[in-house]
Amino acid sequence: MPNKPLLLRVLDILSIILIPAALVLILFFTPEEATMGAVQKVFYFHVASAWAGMLSFVVAAGAGIGYLTTRDFKWDWLSLSAVEVGVVFGLVAIASGMIWAKPIWNVWWVWDPRLTTTAIMELLYLTYFILRSGLNTMETRARLAAVYAIISVITVPLTFLSIRLFRTIHPVVIAPTGSADFNMSPRMLVAFFASLVVFTILLADLIWNRYRLAALQAKINQGGN
C-alpha cells in the first residue's frame, strides 16, 4: 500500500487543528443569543453536521452514477465511505438537536415533521448497509447499492419539500431576510460559516480515509500484496 497522499495528511492535520479552533470561536467569540442563552451555541455544530451529512449523501449518489457508468469499484468504495460517514454526521446532528431541544422545548424529542423526517432519512441510509449485506457478489452489491444511493438522493429533496408545506416548530435559519426565526449578528455569521467550512474539511478527510480503508480491504480480499 502506498503511503498516505500528501493532501490527505494536510487534511488530517487541518481537521485536528480546525475543529478545536471552531469550538473556541463558538464558545468565546460569539455573543450569547438573547432569548435562548448559552445552549444556542449547539446550533453551530448542529447545522454544520447536518450539512456535512447531506453533502456526503450527495457524494454517495454521485459516486453511484460514477460506478454505473464506469463499473470501476473505486466508485463503489467512495459511495460506501460517503454513506458511512454521512450516517455518523446525521447522528451527530440528531443528538445535538436533542441537546438543544431539552432546555428550549423542555423535551428531548417532539414529533415535528422536520425531526421525524430527518430520523427516517437516517434509517434510510442505515438500510443501505442492510441492502449491501444481503447481496452475494461484489458486482451485484456495487450495482444495486449505487441504484439505491441514487434513488435516495431523489427522495430526500422531495421529503424536504413536503415538510416545507407543513408548519414546523423547528427554527428556520436559511430564509429570505426578515423571515428567518432568529437573526444572526455578524460575529454569529462568522462562526456559522466557519463551522460549515471546518465540517466540510472534516467530512472530506473522513471519507478519504474510509475510502483508503475500503481499497485496502479489497486488496486483502484479492489476496494481492
Give residues in contact with another protein (CB under 8 A). 68, 71, 113, 117, 120-121, 123-124, 127, 130-131, 133-140, 143-144, 147-148, 150-152, 154-155, 158-159, 161-163, 165-166, 221-222
Q: Min. distance of Cβ 219 from another protein in angstroms?
A: 11
Q: Min. distance of Cβ 220 from another protein in angstroms?
A: 12
- With respect to another protein, which residue has the nearer C-beta, 4 or 170? 170
- With respect to another protein, which residue has the nearer C-beta, 145 or 194? 145
Q: Min. distance of Cβ 42 from another protein in angstroms?
A: 26
| Distance between CA atoms of residues 92 and 18, nearest Å | 18
CA angle 52, 183, 21 (to 5 degrees): 45
- With respect to another protein, which residue has the nearer C-beta, 187 or 219? 219
R_g of the chain, CA atoms, integer Å: 19
Cα distances (Å, whole numbers) of residue 175 to 51, 64, 113, 164, 223: 16, 31, 18, 12, 53
Contact 205, 8 (CB under 8 A): yes
Rama region for 106: left / alpha / beta (φ>0; ψ in -120 to 50; rest): left
- With respect to another protein, which residue has the nearer C-beta, 2 or 224? 224
Those residues with Cβ within 8 angstroms of residue 31's Cβ, 6 or more apart along the chain or in another chain:
185, 187, 188
Length of the chain: 225
Residue with cell 422531495: 158
- With respect to another protein, which residue has the nearer C-beta, 37 or 157? 157
For residue 169, the one-letter residue type is I
- With respect to another protein, which residue has the nearer C-beta, 9 or 71? 71
